[in-house]
Amino acid sequence: MASYVIAGASRGLGYEFLRQLSSDPSNKVVGLVRNKEAVQAQLSADNITNVHLAVADLTDPEALVAAAKATAELTDGVVDYLIVNGAYISADTRPLSPTNFIGKEALFKDDLTKAFMTNVAGPLYAINAFLPLIRAGSTKKVTIISSGMADTEIMDVAGVSQAVVYSASKSAANVLAKKYAIELKSEGIIFLALSPGLVNTSGNSAENMTPEMLADFQAMLQRFREYEPGFKGPITPEESVKMQLKVIRGLTLAGSGEFLSHHGNKRWL
Protein backbone atom coordinates (compact mmCIF):
# COMPACT_ATOMS: atom_id res chain seq x y z
CA MET A 1 0.00 0.00 0.00
CA ALA A 2 1.25 3.45 -0.89
CA SER A 3 -0.28 6.86 -0.37
CA TYR A 4 -0.22 9.51 -3.10
CA VAL A 5 -1.26 13.16 -3.16
CA ILE A 6 -1.66 14.87 -6.53
CA ALA A 7 -1.93 18.65 -6.23
CA GLY A 8 -3.76 20.15 -9.20
CA ALA A 9 -5.62 17.01 -10.24
CA SER A 10 -8.83 18.20 -11.89
CA ARG A 11 -7.97 17.46 -15.51
CA GLY A 12 -5.17 16.73 -17.97
CA LEU A 13 -2.13 15.00 -16.51
CA GLY A 14 -3.26 15.50 -12.91
CA TYR A 15 -6.49 13.60 -13.50
CA GLU A 16 -4.58 10.90 -15.38
CA PHE A 17 -2.34 10.45 -12.29
CA LEU A 18 -5.52 9.89 -10.24
CA ARG A 19 -6.86 7.42 -12.82
CA GLN A 20 -3.70 5.33 -13.06
CA LEU A 21 -2.83 5.33 -9.37
CA SER A 22 -6.36 4.42 -8.28
CA SER A 23 -6.34 1.35 -10.54
CA ASP A 24 -4.39 -0.36 -7.74
CA PRO A 25 -7.04 -0.67 -5.01
CA SER A 26 -4.38 -0.95 -2.31
CA ASN A 27 -3.23 2.63 -3.03
CA LYS A 28 -4.59 5.60 -1.11
CA VAL A 29 -5.00 8.40 -3.62
CA VAL A 30 -5.86 12.01 -2.78
CA GLY A 31 -6.42 14.69 -5.41
CA LEU A 32 -6.27 18.40 -4.57
CA VAL A 33 -8.63 20.35 -6.80
CA ARG A 34 -10.36 23.72 -6.97
CA ASN A 35 -13.70 22.44 -8.25
CA LYS A 36 -14.54 19.36 -6.22
CA GLU A 37 -18.07 18.77 -7.55
CA ALA A 38 -17.03 18.71 -11.19
CA VAL A 39 -14.08 16.40 -10.55
CA GLN A 40 -16.19 14.11 -8.34
CA ALA A 41 -18.74 13.89 -11.17
CA GLN A 42 -15.98 12.97 -13.63
CA LEU A 43 -14.63 10.30 -11.26
CA SER A 44 -18.12 8.83 -10.89
CA ALA A 45 -18.63 8.88 -14.67
CA ASP A 46 -15.33 7.00 -15.02
CA ASN A 47 -16.31 4.53 -12.29
CA ILE A 48 -13.38 5.54 -10.11
CA THR A 49 -14.37 5.04 -6.49
CA ASN A 50 -11.12 5.02 -4.51
CA VAL A 51 -9.95 8.61 -5.00
CA HIS A 52 -10.45 11.19 -2.25
CA LEU A 53 -10.70 14.84 -3.17
CA ALA A 54 -9.78 17.88 -1.09
CA VAL A 55 -10.27 21.47 -2.13
CA ALA A 56 -7.12 23.57 -2.39
CA ASP A 57 -5.86 26.26 -4.70
CA LEU A 58 -2.07 26.11 -5.01
CA THR A 59 -1.83 29.81 -4.22
CA ASP A 60 -3.66 29.38 -0.90
CA PRO A 61 -1.30 28.09 1.83
CA GLU A 62 -4.08 27.85 4.44
CA ALA A 63 -6.23 25.69 2.16
CA LEU A 64 -3.21 23.46 1.53
CA VAL A 65 -2.58 23.04 5.27
CA ALA A 66 -6.28 22.16 5.73
CA ALA A 67 -6.03 19.65 2.85
CA ALA A 68 -2.96 18.10 4.50
CA LYS A 69 -4.94 17.71 7.74
CA ALA A 70 -7.82 16.05 5.89
CA THR A 71 -5.35 13.79 4.09
CA ALA A 72 -3.68 12.77 7.36
CA GLU A 73 -7.02 11.46 8.62
CA LEU A 74 -7.39 9.28 5.53
CA THR A 75 -3.81 8.00 5.42
CA ASP A 76 -2.92 7.62 9.10
CA GLY A 77 -0.72 10.69 8.97
CA VAL A 78 1.53 9.49 6.17
CA VAL A 79 2.11 10.47 2.52
CA ASP A 80 4.55 8.42 0.46
CA TYR A 81 4.44 10.43 -2.77
CA LEU A 82 3.50 14.09 -3.26
CA ILE A 83 3.21 15.20 -6.88
CA VAL A 84 2.67 18.92 -7.45
CA ASN A 85 1.20 18.97 -10.94
CA GLY A 86 -1.05 22.04 -11.27
CA ALA A 87 0.26 25.04 -13.13
CA TYR A 88 -0.73 28.40 -14.55
CA ILE A 89 -0.32 28.09 -18.29
CA SER A 90 -1.41 31.14 -20.29
CA ALA A 91 -2.52 30.47 -23.84
CA ASP A 92 -2.45 34.23 -24.45
CA THR A 93 1.21 34.79 -23.66
CA ARG A 94 2.59 31.44 -24.88
CA PRO A 95 3.24 32.82 -28.41
CA LEU A 96 5.06 35.91 -27.08
CA SER A 97 8.85 36.44 -27.16
CA PRO A 98 10.60 38.97 -24.88
CA THR A 99 10.33 41.98 -27.21
CA ASN A 100 6.62 41.34 -27.81
CA PHE A 101 6.13 42.78 -24.32
CA ILE A 102 7.33 46.23 -25.42
CA GLY A 103 4.33 48.42 -24.63
CA LYS A 104 2.72 45.47 -22.82
CA GLU A 105 4.58 45.77 -19.52
CA ALA A 106 1.41 45.48 -17.46
CA LEU A 107 0.56 42.21 -19.22
CA PHE A 108 4.07 40.92 -18.49
CA LYS A 109 3.78 41.84 -14.82
CA ASP A 110 0.35 40.23 -14.50
CA ASP A 111 1.49 37.05 -16.26
CA LEU A 112 4.68 36.90 -14.20
CA THR A 113 2.74 37.29 -10.96
CA LYS A 114 0.20 34.59 -11.83
CA ALA A 115 2.82 32.16 -13.15
CA PHE A 116 5.21 32.58 -10.23
CA MET A 117 2.43 32.44 -7.65
CA THR A 118 1.03 29.18 -9.06
CA ASN A 119 4.14 27.49 -10.49
CA VAL A 120 6.73 28.46 -7.86
CA ALA A 121 4.94 29.62 -4.70
CA GLY A 122 2.35 26.85 -5.28
CA PRO A 123 4.84 23.97 -5.03
CA LEU A 124 6.53 25.62 -2.02
CA TYR A 125 3.20 26.08 -0.19
CA ALA A 126 2.08 22.54 -1.05
CA ILE A 127 5.38 20.91 -0.06
CA ASN A 128 5.58 22.81 3.22
CA ALA A 129 1.96 21.93 4.05
CA PHE A 130 2.49 18.21 3.39
CA LEU A 131 6.03 17.95 4.76
CA PRO A 132 4.97 16.52 8.15
CA LEU A 133 3.14 13.70 6.33
CA ILE A 134 6.06 13.08 3.96
CA ARG A 135 8.44 12.98 6.93
CA ALA A 136 6.19 10.44 8.66
CA GLY A 137 6.37 8.05 5.68
CA SER A 138 9.16 5.75 4.61
CA THR A 139 9.15 6.50 0.84
CA LYS A 140 9.54 10.29 1.11
CA LYS A 141 9.28 11.32 -2.57
CA VAL A 142 8.24 14.77 -3.75
CA THR A 143 7.88 15.62 -7.42
CA ILE A 144 7.29 19.04 -8.95
CA ILE A 145 5.99 18.74 -12.50
CA SER A 146 8.23 20.98 -14.57
CA SER A 147 8.62 21.38 -18.32
CA GLY A 148 11.26 20.76 -20.97
CA MET A 149 10.48 24.40 -21.90
CA ALA A 150 12.72 25.32 -18.94
CA ASP A 151 15.73 23.60 -20.46
CA THR A 152 18.03 26.11 -22.16
CA GLU A 153 19.51 23.54 -24.57
CA ILE A 154 16.22 22.63 -26.25
CA MET A 155 15.24 26.31 -26.21
CA ASP A 156 18.43 27.08 -28.07
CA VAL A 157 18.50 24.16 -30.51
CA ALA A 158 14.79 24.40 -31.34
CA GLY A 159 14.90 28.21 -31.36
CA VAL A 160 12.01 28.70 -28.92
CA SER A 161 12.03 32.35 -27.83
CA GLN A 162 8.31 32.26 -26.88
CA ALA A 163 6.58 31.31 -23.63
CA VAL A 164 8.98 33.56 -21.73
CA VAL A 165 7.14 33.73 -18.41
CA TYR A 166 5.99 30.10 -18.32
CA SER A 167 9.52 28.83 -19.09
CA ALA A 168 11.05 31.16 -16.48
CA SER A 169 8.54 29.97 -13.86
CA LYS A 170 9.33 26.31 -14.56
CA SER A 171 13.03 27.09 -14.42
CA ALA A 172 12.45 28.63 -10.98
CA ALA A 173 10.49 25.51 -9.97
CA ASN A 174 13.56 23.43 -10.91
CA VAL A 175 15.67 25.61 -8.62
CA LEU A 176 13.10 25.12 -5.86
CA ALA A 177 13.33 21.32 -6.19
CA LYS A 178 17.11 21.54 -5.95
CA LYS A 179 16.99 23.83 -2.89
CA TYR A 180 14.64 21.43 -1.09
CA ALA A 181 16.84 18.48 -2.06
CA ILE A 182 19.88 20.15 -0.53
CA GLU A 183 18.08 21.25 2.63
CA LEU A 184 16.34 17.94 3.35
CA LYS A 185 18.86 15.39 2.04
CA SER A 186 19.89 14.42 5.58
CA GLU A 187 16.26 13.49 6.27
CA GLY A 188 16.21 11.14 3.28
CA ILE A 189 13.54 13.11 1.40
CA ILE A 190 13.89 12.81 -2.38
CA PHE A 191 12.91 15.71 -4.66
CA LEU A 192 12.50 15.69 -8.41
CA ALA A 193 11.61 18.28 -11.04
CA LEU A 194 10.01 16.18 -13.77
CA SER A 195 9.05 17.13 -17.31
CA PRO A 196 6.10 15.09 -18.66
CA GLY A 197 7.08 15.39 -22.34
CA LEU A 198 4.88 17.16 -24.86
CA VAL A 199 1.43 15.79 -24.08
CA ASN A 200 -1.96 15.99 -25.76
CA THR A 201 -3.81 17.85 -23.02
CA SER A 202 -6.24 20.73 -23.57
CA GLY A 203 -3.55 23.40 -23.96
CA ASN A 204 -2.03 21.49 -26.88
CA SER A 205 -5.34 20.70 -28.53
CA ALA A 206 -5.90 22.34 -31.93
CA GLU A 207 -9.54 23.04 -31.11
CA ASN A 208 -8.47 25.37 -28.27
CA MET A 209 -6.16 27.41 -30.51
CA THR A 210 -6.80 30.37 -32.76
CA PRO A 211 -5.45 29.90 -36.31
CA GLU A 212 -2.47 32.11 -35.35
CA MET A 213 -1.71 30.03 -32.23
CA LEU A 214 -2.04 26.81 -34.22
CA ALA A 215 0.41 28.04 -36.86
CA ASP A 216 2.86 29.02 -34.11
CA PHE A 217 2.46 25.64 -32.39
CA GLN A 218 2.97 23.74 -35.64
CA ALA A 219 6.11 25.75 -36.37
CA MET A 220 7.40 24.82 -32.91
CA LEU A 221 6.64 21.12 -33.57
CA GLN A 222 8.65 21.37 -36.78
CA ARG A 223 11.62 22.80 -34.88
CA PHE A 224 11.24 20.05 -32.28
CA ARG A 225 11.55 17.48 -35.10
CA GLU A 226 14.87 19.05 -36.00
CA TYR A 227 15.99 18.81 -32.36
CA GLU A 228 14.70 15.23 -31.98
CA PRO A 229 14.42 13.54 -35.39
CA GLY A 230 12.40 10.61 -33.94
CA PHE A 231 9.76 12.98 -32.47
CA LYS A 232 6.30 11.96 -33.67
CA GLY A 233 4.22 14.68 -31.98
CA PRO A 234 2.56 14.98 -28.58
CA ILE A 235 2.09 11.77 -26.59
CA THR A 236 -1.08 10.76 -24.72
CA PRO A 237 -1.60 11.61 -21.03
CA GLU A 238 -1.74 7.85 -20.39
CA GLU A 239 1.69 7.25 -21.91
CA SER A 240 3.22 10.30 -20.22
CA VAL A 241 1.96 9.43 -16.72
CA LYS A 242 3.05 5.81 -17.08
CA MET A 243 6.56 6.98 -17.97
CA GLN A 244 6.60 9.66 -15.25
CA LEU A 245 5.62 7.14 -12.56
CA LYS A 246 8.45 4.87 -13.67
CA VAL A 247 10.94 7.74 -13.29
CA ILE A 248 9.50 8.75 -9.90
CA ARG A 249 9.59 5.20 -8.55
CA GLY A 250 13.14 4.66 -9.79
CA LEU A 251 14.61 7.80 -8.27
CA THR A 252 17.01 7.42 -5.34
CA LEU A 253 18.42 9.88 -2.83
CA ALA A 254 21.59 10.11 -4.92
CA GLY A 255 19.55 11.74 -7.70
CA SER A 256 17.54 14.05 -5.47
CA GLY A 257 17.13 17.57 -6.86
CA GLU A 258 17.51 16.53 -10.49
CA PHE A 259 15.51 17.92 -13.42
CA LEU A 260 14.61 14.96 -15.61
CA SER A 261 12.28 14.13 -18.48
CA HIS A 262 9.65 11.39 -18.66
CA HIS A 263 12.45 9.24 -20.12
CA GLY A 264 14.44 9.70 -16.92
CA ASN A 265 17.12 11.70 -18.74
CA LYS A 266 17.55 15.04 -20.51
CA ARG A 267 15.69 14.14 -23.72
CA TRP A 268 12.57 16.27 -23.43
CA LEU A 269 10.47 14.89 -26.31
Ligand X SMILES: NC(=O)c1ccc[n+]([C@@H]2O[C@H](COP(=O)([O-])OP(=O)(O)OC[C@H]3O[C@@H](n4cnc5c(N)ncnc54)[C@H](OP(=O)(O)O)[C@@H]3O)[C@@H](O)[C@H]2O)c1
Instruction: Give min distance, CB of 218 to ligand X, in A.
Output: 15
Check: CB of residue 67 under 8 Å from CB of residue 129: yes
Vertex 33, ends 32 and 36: CA angle to 5°? 120
Known catalytic membership, residue 232: no
Instruction: Give min distance, CB of 177 to ligand X, in A.
Output: 13
Check: CB of residue 149 under 8 Å from CB of residue 163: yes
| Residues, the chain | 269
Considering the complex, state which of residue 188 and residue 205 has its C-beta at the smaller distance from ligand X. Answer: 205
The DSSP symbol for 7 reads E
- Candidate list 166, 180, 242, 266, residue with the active-site label: 166
Considering the complex, state which of residue 93 and residue 147 has its C-beta at the smaller distance from ligand X. Answer: 147
Instruction: Give min distance, CB of 154 to ligand X, in A.
Output: 11
- Candidate list 4, 141, 170, 180, residue with the active-site label: 170
Q: Which residues bind ligand X (CB under 6 A)?
A: 8, 10-14, 34-35, 57-59, 85-89, 118, 145, 147, 195-196, 198-199, 201-204
Instruction: Give min distance, CB of 103 to ligand X, in A.
Output: 27
Vertex 211, ends 207 and 216: CA angle to 5°? 100
Considering the complex, state which of residue 86 and residue 137 has its C-beta at the smaller distance from ligand X. Answer: 86
Which residues face 141 on adjacent strands?
81, 190
Known catalytic membership, residue 15: no
The DSSP symbol for 120 reads I
Residue nearest to ligand X as judged by C-beta position = 12
- How many Å apart are CA 185 and CA 142, to the nearest integer? 12
Q: For residues 48-63, b (16+ Cβ closer than 10 Å) or e, as one string?
A: beebbbbbbbbebbeb
Catalytic residue numbers?
A: 166, 170
